[in-house]
């Protein structure tokens, strides 16, 4: 089990190495060029990692500008905020080009750009959070307002994209979420211009003819986006708990450890890649495994074992986000793992798969095999007590000194007794 979880640490190191060696831009030294970063599909952890990596590389490689080619219905707000922060942190001018739509979290990313160019049929806005609670609306409204102020745009219009109670004269009535067309965005100062293509958008910003170097999302970034989904992480947590129960049930066969290791690598690899939990969650998980291993080899009255289980559950809670959803998800994972374990324990022993894995041959007493001496030969025989039976002691029966138990009475040495019952290695006698 220790060796198996050692593989977990090794794979995490490999993931860290992969994430730390991004593909750099292909441009000649001194050449003017624009870094094109596609921001398309769902906004998630993987996309955030990709955009952060691309912006950082573009700045290091000396890009003249960064163009975010945006096409999205939205996604996770935390991932969008990380992309927004990366835009704010870079010294390279940023341009957002939206050919069709930038809704919800995509609108926040668009507003964070220094320049915005929209396609003729584009729209931007519709950023009401789900769930629509007072807290989430207020938090996201503040993010939109701060972002608009930072880039010199109308903060009230940005807030109306999130909070339908605001409205904006000439654009939307109160009670409706704001979403602007390209013409409206240009009229109200949100967009620098309207262009049907990306090349025309660059022309508006005096970058016509400049070489475009497009970044591509790597496989591990796509994987991180999938693993960053809260429901996927909840399922992986359930698999880890289930694997732990299976490992206990199978007495260290290794199947549970292998499945648990794979689930742990996916769970913590995704969170480590996104940087959402830091190293605390991974560290707690490893400490938990070590403590359980110590309990198995050096029994400590369950102290090490319970501490290890607590550390593992704490690491899962942190990995799931350390919030109310994390607590509910962890509880659901425990219940789901328990149900899966009960079903497995009930049906696996009778399945064809189990019959192929488990040795069915048995050495039975009917076939002449015995694991210990058969004491039934003394049943009904008499003997003499050698030591005080209280009620256990020794007696001489058929010329042999045997450990016997009286039928609940104290019997003094020298008393004659008869064997009344033999149960395995237990010989029961009574006074003759």
Measured at the alpha carbon of residue 109, what is the angle toward residues 160 and 232, in degrees to the nearest 5? 105
- Distance (Å, whole) CA 70 – CA 121: 14
Peptide bond into 254 cis (omega under 30): no
Q: What is the pTM of this model?
A: 0.64
- Distance (Å, whole) CA 390 – CA 413: 11
Checking if the pLDDT of 100 tops 70, the result is: yes
Positive or negative, the CA dihedral 378, 380, 386, 388 is positive
CA proximity to 241, closest of 317, 346, 322, 350:
317
- Distance (Å, whole) CA 112 – CA 134: 24
Task: Identify the top-confidence range among 145-149, 253-257, 364-368, 428-432.
Answer: 145-149
- pLDDT-based confidence at residue 418 (cuts at 50, 70, 90): very high
Chain mean pLDDT for the chain:
82
Instruction: Tell me the two tokens of residue 167.
Output: 């409205």
Q: State the pLDDT at residue 365.
A: 56
Q: 63 vs 245, which has greater pLDDT?
A: 63
The answer to whether 227 touches 267, Cβ cutoff 8 Å, is yes
Positive or negative, the CA dihedral 188, 191, 196, 201 is positive
Query: Range with the lowest mean pLDDT among 100-114, 192-206, 266-280, 396-410?
Result: 266-280
Checking if the pLDDT of 208 tops 60, the result is: yes
The answer to whether 281 touches 298, Cβ cutoff 8 Å, is no
- Give 31-220's CATH code, choosing from 3.40.50.300, 3.90.226.10, 3.30.300.10, 3.30.70.20: 3.90.226.10
- pLDDT-based confidence at residue 43 (cuts at 50, 70, 90): very high
31-220 and 372-431 in the same fold = no
* Residue labelled with tokens 């964070």: 112
- Distance (Å, whole) CA 371 – CA 373: 7
Hey, where are the domains in the chain? 31-220, 229-357, 372-431
Query: Mean pLDDT throughout 103-124?
Result: 96
| CA trace torsion 354, 356, 358, 364 (10° rounding) | 110
Task: Identify the top-confidence range among 27-36, 294-303, 400-409.
Answer: 400-409
Q: 233 vs 112, which has greater pLDDT?
A: 112
- Give 372-431's CATH code, choosing from 3.40.50.720, 2.40.50.140, 2.40.70.10, 3.10.20.30: 2.40.50.140
Checking if the pLDDT of 15 tops 60, the result is: no
Coil/strand/helix, residue 427: strand
Scanning 102-133, the segments in alpha helix (DSSP H) are: 105-111
Query: Range with the lowest mean pLDDT among 123-127, 221-225, 241-245, 300-304?
Result: 300-304
Query: Mean pLDDT throughout 385-399?
Result: 88
Q: Backbone phi, then psi, for 426, in 5-degree steps?
A: -100, 120
pLDDT digits (tens, 9 = 90+) for 332-379: 888 888 888 888 777 666 666 555 555 555 555 555 555 567 788 888
- pLDDT-based confidence at residue 278 (cuts at 50, 70, 90): low
Query: Mean pLDDT throughout 323-339?
Result: 83
């Amino acid at each position: 089990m220790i060796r198996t979880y050692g593989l977990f640490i090794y794979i995490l190191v490999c993931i860290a190495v992969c994430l730390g060696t991004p593909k750099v831009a292909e441009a000649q030294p001194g050449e003017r060029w624009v870094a094109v970063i596609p921001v398309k599909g769902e906004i998630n952890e993987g996309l955030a990692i990709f955009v952060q990596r691309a912006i950082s590389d573009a700045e290091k490689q000396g890009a003249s500008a960064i163009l975010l080619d945006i096409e999205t219905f939205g996604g996770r707000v935390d991932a969008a905020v990380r992309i927004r922060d990366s835009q704010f942190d870079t010294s390279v001018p940023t341009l957002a080009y939206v050919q069709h739509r930038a809704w919800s979290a995509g609108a926040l990313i668009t507003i964070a750009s220094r320049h915005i160019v929209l396609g003729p049929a584009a729209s931007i806005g519709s950023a009401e959070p789900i769930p629509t609670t007072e807290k989430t609306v207020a938090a996201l409204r503040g993010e939109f307002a701060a972002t608009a102020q930072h880039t010199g745009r109308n903060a009230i219009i940005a807030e109306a994209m999130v909070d339908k109670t605001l409205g904006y004269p000439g654009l939307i009535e109160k009670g409706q979420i704001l979403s602007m067309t390209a013409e409206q965005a240009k009229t109200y100062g949100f967009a620098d211009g309207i262009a049907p293509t990306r090349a025309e958008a660059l022309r508006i910003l005096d970058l016509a003819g400049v070489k475009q170097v497009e970044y591509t999302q790597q496989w591990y970034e796509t994987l991180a986006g999938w693993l960053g989904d809260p429901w996927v992480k909840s399922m992986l947590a359930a698999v880890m708990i289930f694997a732990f129960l299976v490992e206990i049930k199978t007495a260290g066969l290794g199947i549970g450890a292998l499945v648990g290791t794979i689930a742990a690598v996916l769970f913590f690899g995704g969170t480590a890649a996104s940087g959402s939990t830091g190293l605390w969650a991974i560290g707690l998980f490893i400490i938990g495994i070590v403590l359980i291993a110590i309990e198995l080899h050096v029994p400590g009255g369950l102290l090490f074992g319970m501490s290890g289980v607590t550390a593992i559950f704490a690491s899962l809670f942190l990995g799931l986000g350390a919030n109310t959803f994390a607590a509910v998800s962890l509880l659901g994972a425990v219940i789901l793992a328990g149900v899966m374990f009960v079903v497995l324990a009930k049906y696996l022993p009778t399945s064809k798969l189990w019959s192929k894995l488990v040795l069915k041959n048995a050495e039975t007493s009917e076939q002449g095999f015995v694991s210990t001496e058969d004491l039934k030969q003394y049943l009904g025989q008499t003997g003499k007590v050698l030591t005080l039976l209280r009620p256990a002691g020794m007696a001489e029966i058929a010329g042999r000194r045997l450990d016997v138990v009286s039928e609940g009475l104290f019997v003094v040495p020298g008393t004659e007794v008869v064997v009344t019952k033999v149960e395995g290695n237990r010989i029961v006698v009574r006074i003759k």
